[in-house]
Structure 1
Amino acid sequence: MLQAEIKSLFKEDISILIKIPNSSKHYLCDCGEASLLTVKEVQSVSAVFISHTHIDHFSNFDGIFRHQIGSGEKVVICGPKNIHQQIESRLKSYTWNLIDENTIEYEIREIVSEEEINIYKIRPPLWNLELIKTQDFLFEDEYVNVDFAILDHKTHSIAYLFKEKDSVSFNENGSEFKKGKWISELKSAFEKNEEGKQIEIEGIVYEASELFHLLTRNEGYKLGVIMDHAAEEGNYEKIKTVFGNADMVYIETFYKDEDREFAIMNHHSFASASGKIMKECKVKEAVPVHFSRRYTESDRLEIETAFYKAFRED
């Protein structure tokens, strides 16, 4: 199951680390201050997901790549329109005369629209952007698929949904056969929908479809991160489309209900609004995050109380 950890302390700018169980691979959502983020964790980040480039979500990007330089790895960076130009500018603002081109490679995925993702490559020491291709999906690796929604925050703000790959389990109690390599062959046939594939068990050949009843598909865990967005219906329709029935969602809850006028003015959400949309999405668990620095700890408790009341009330 995917695990998320908030790496920012209260009154620090937001940064959330997503970990894959039994793997050293991590994903990082936003690059605000992150006092709890270790160098080892940064060096294990294989992909960075930027919601938008307001300073409180992007200011620590330099600190992140500071600890990635020298890894020799390719790191994927996903973000809103023009993210490639902003990263290029950040990288070119430093002197790199002691760094060679094999030190690191960034693959930048610019989200232009729901169907248009531009892929760029950028490497030291010159950090010149190279457009590689355009594709219609954002991110997939051996562990997750990542879907997204483009929300309005008076700029594009990308909300991300990480969906763990489905797994297939073998019903040992429902089988009269001895265990063997045939189980992995059957799982492979099931995943590839190869109903006619021949599976030999104890000297007898079966078609895979005859044995599919011994398997169960387990839907992957769905974890969402929704950052800054205006509390308005257009955003909510997009959120419901992507995040419906998610297992866990971390959602921006910048203002108290009594300060909703500031929320409207600054295109942010507020406590009960964030809780209500999570309820409408029928998510299993939801966590309010990213509060205004104006608030005290008691204000934070007030926000959380209003959020969970809206999220859980019948």
Structure 2
Amino acid sequence: MKCPAGTATSSPRPGRASSGRGISGDLRRYWANMGVPSFRPDPWGSNILRRDGDSISCAPPRNTSPPPPPSGTRRGRGGWRHAPRPWRDALKPLLHPQLVNPPFGDPGLLVDLRFERRCLLFDLGDLEPVPARRLLRVGHAFVSHAHMDHFAGFDRLLRLCLGREKALHLFGPPGFVDNVAGKFAAYTWNLAPGYAADFAVTATALEEDGSALTAAFHSRRRFVREGERRIRFEDGVLVREEALTVRYATLDHGIPSLAYRVEEPAHVNVFKDRLEAMGLAVGPWLRALKRAVLRGDPDDRPVAAPGRDGTETVLPLGRLRAEALLVTAGQAIAYVVDTAFTPQTAARIADLARGVDVLFIESPFRAADTELAALKRHLTTGQAGRLAAMAGAKRVVPFHFSPRYQGQEEEMRREVETAFRHPM
């Protein structure tokens, strides 16, 4: 089922929170010291645990280095001006995952969709570190369960979006529609119908078997619950678009807790130097070109392309595909939080996170505290590392550490690393 993405419009109104480009200086320095991805240009961070044969590397993947330029090229100020440079797009992935808080804070992951001007948000705990500008780009939010540290931040998102023409799609576990209705019921909305813009929220409660209950809430109608109906998602796929898919799995936290996977079906790389050689300009038209390729449109489909001289040229899709594009495997990211370690949940996590580029996985308890973790229905650091290895994840990011281990972050990361490197 395809869900249309919500679109944020207009800039924050006077009196709203600042929408600066980054997080606070203190948190930025924290992430810089820890080498964990948060709101910064590098989408993977510089210190994520990565499987590399039998060792763990904290360096970027080796294949990001540019190959030697073809013969006959020359070096200019901006690099090799006449050589195709596919590595540039390889360093500019569509999905930019960014942890919302430090590992002892509320769990949450924001995935910025490069060139799409929109974001996906996984869990709605403390959202204060996220700039308002980024939150206004969120069209889909995926909640694991409704414990406070995963859902309390909904109020901030609601306050930012209120009075704007925007659609927001929320997904959560069984009973989630009631949870969202309860949030709206906590406030008085007599003024909301007077706003010129309508903020529309669609909430969907997901069952383990793929069935779901969905309902709509509109600010124009005081967020009254309406349009309730039963729907079904095949193969756990919640969002299916040309550029990405999102699917879920149900885990056990004493209550249902949802894990998510977001991935590109494929990644379309654009060789800008080749476009330049063809006399074509870069611009928004490339987004439609990429989508045509992902749809599998025929080679003879005409494509209107702007020229560097300001004119428009019509070329067949096949020529552009052959001369200026390269289709490679897409990215995949998984988000796993608040689950017991059982044979069933381990199998579901391994299936959901199979071969992902990055697995963000909770690690609340140290490896020695297995019994306590089982009592609380959480994972240990060792279990998190082994699950990442079982799934064949390329990289793993542990987070959601229990406050009882304050001051032991380095040891906890080391335990995940050891289990990831040498799974038992």
1:135 maps to which of 226, 232, 252: 232
Whether 2:252 is the aligned partner of 1:152: answer yes
SS in 1 for 2:168: strand
Q: Kindly indicate whether the alpha-carbon contact (under 8 Å) linking 1:256 and 1:270 is maintained by their aligned counterparts in 2.
A: yes
Q: Any residues of structure 2 matched to 1:68-217 within 5 Å, and which?
A: 68-100=161-193, 102-124=197-219, 125-132=222-229, 134-136=231-233, 137-141=237-241, 143-169=243-269, 191-193=294-296, 198=300, 216-217=326-327
* TM-score, normalised with respect to structure 2: 0.64
Aligned identity (percent) is 22
- Equivalent residue number for residue 390 of structure 2: 280
Q: What RMSD over aligned residues (CA atoms) do the two structures have, in Å?
A: 3.2
Amino acid aligned to 2:252: D
Could you say which residue in structure 2 is the equivalent of 1:45? 138
Report deviation, 1:44.
Answer: 1.7
Aligned-residue offset at 1:66: 1.3
Cα-to-partner distance string for 1:213-242 (whole Å, 9 max, x where unaligned): 777532211011111110111001111212
Q: Distance in 2 between matches of 1:192 and 1:27?
A: 22
TM-score (norm 1): 0.85
Query: Would the alpha carbon gap of residues 189 and 155 (structure 1) be closer, same or farther in structure 2, given more than 3 Å must change?
Result: closer
Shift of 1:173: 11
Which residue in 2 is equivalent to 1:306? 415
Contact 1:3 1:19 in 2 (8 A): yes
Matches of 2:143 and 2:123 in 1, distance apart?
5
Distance 2:125 2:295 in 1: 41
Question: 1:118 deviation in Å?
Answer: 3.0
- Higher RCO (C-alpha under 8 Å, 6+ residues apart): 2
Q: Distance in 2 between matches of 1:227 and 1:30?
A: 10
Matched, 1:25 2:99: no
The answer for unaligned runs of 5 or more in structure 1 is 201-205
Give 1:194 shift: 6.2
Greater shift, 62-71 or 155-164, is seen at 62-71
1:45 maps to a residue whose letter is: V
Q: Which amino acid aligns with 1:121?
A: A
Task: Supply the distance in 2 between the matched residues of 1:199 and 1:44 (Cα, whole angstroms).
Answer: 32
Unaligned runs of 5+ in 2: 1-92, 281-285, 303-315
Q: Contact 1:18–1:28 at 8 Å: present in 2 too?
A: yes
SS at match of 2:161: coil
Native 8 Å contact 2:242 2:291 kept in 1: no
